[in-house]
Structure 1
Amino acid sequence: MNRRQQRGITLTSFLVVLAVLGFAAFIAMKLFPMYQEYYAVRSAMKGLSGEPGVGDMDPAKIQDLFFRRLYINYSENVKPADVKFERIDNGWQMRVNYEVRRDLVGNLDVVGKFDTTQDLTRQGSAE
């Protein structure tokens, strides 16, 4: 008697692959908003660097403009205490350093630490 050999993946193997892919999608859904907010912060900082005369502005005014830009992107994790300014030769160096913590599963959290800088020069040109 000649048996045909079956090929392919069994139902159990398919369920294991599906569970792994589902868990990876779950992790991605938790991480995506954190990185989306980080790119909104970067975009706001780059936009500020293009403002004419930003290097001559008061840091409080620059911070106000920065948070107005973040408000449009529904950013909720960056606080005024996370934004620091340091005087450089031709303007300011703006640094945003913040942390985001999200629940993952049960008592496990995922933590994202974000730190970025942008030079804000008198000419208003991006770095």
Structure 2
Amino acid sequence: MKRKQRGLSLVGFLLVLAVVGFAAYIGIKLFPMYQEYYAVRSAMKGLATEAGVADMDPARIQDLFFRRLYINYSEHVKPQNVKFERTQGGWKMRVNYEVRRPLVGNLDVVGRFDTTQELTRRGGE
């Protein structure tokens, strides 16, 4: 007795295609937010290795930070999102910001990013 083999029907294929398409759409909306976050992290880590950063004043450190971000076309991090705290042997830099992007209709996707970096004489350990 032979059994008939059956494949994916057209309706099933369209359903799978819709789910994959929606997942790709969400990924396209989220990718720039995380790309910017990793640019922020990279700029902060680069500052931690900068010679003499522990002895600089916060305004100078912030200027160096935003110069690094300018290269990566970061547009959501503003000076009011950057805070400095004096620590033993340097600074603790904190960047806390939010990104809101439209998703579908009146729904938005919101990303909140908060990261810190030690800026010490030992190179940001």
TM above 0.5, yes or no, is: yes
Q: What RMSD in Å do the two structures reach over aligned CA positions?
A: 1.2
Q: Which residue of 2 aligns with 1:61?
A: 60
Alignment of 1:19-98 (within 5 A): 19-98=18-97
Q: What is the CA distance between 1:126 and its match in structure 2?
A: 2.6
Runs of 5+ unmatched residues, structure 1: none
Q: Which residue of 1 aligns with 2:124?
A: 126
SS of structure 1 residue aligned to 2:93: strand
Q: What is the CA distance between 1:7 and its match in structure 2?
A: 1.7
> Partners in 1 of 2:5 and 2:121 — Cα distance?
72
The AA in structure 2 aligned to 1:52 is A
Q: Which residue of 1 aligns with 2:99?
A: 100
Q: Structure 1: which 4+ aligned runs deviate by more than 2 Å?
A: none
SS of structure 2 residue aligned to 1:94: strand
Count of matched residue pairs: 125
> Partners in 1 of 2:16 and 2:53 — Cα distance?
52
Q: What is the CA distance between 1:122 and its match in structure 2?
A: 2.4
Runs of 5+ unmatched residues, structure 2: none
> Partners in 2 of 1:4 and 1:101 — Cα distance?
53
TM-score under structure 1 length normalisation: 0.95
Q: What is the CA distance between 1:8 and its match in structure 2?
A: 1.4
The AA in structure 2 aligned to 1:126 is G
TM-score under structure 2 length normalisation: 0.96
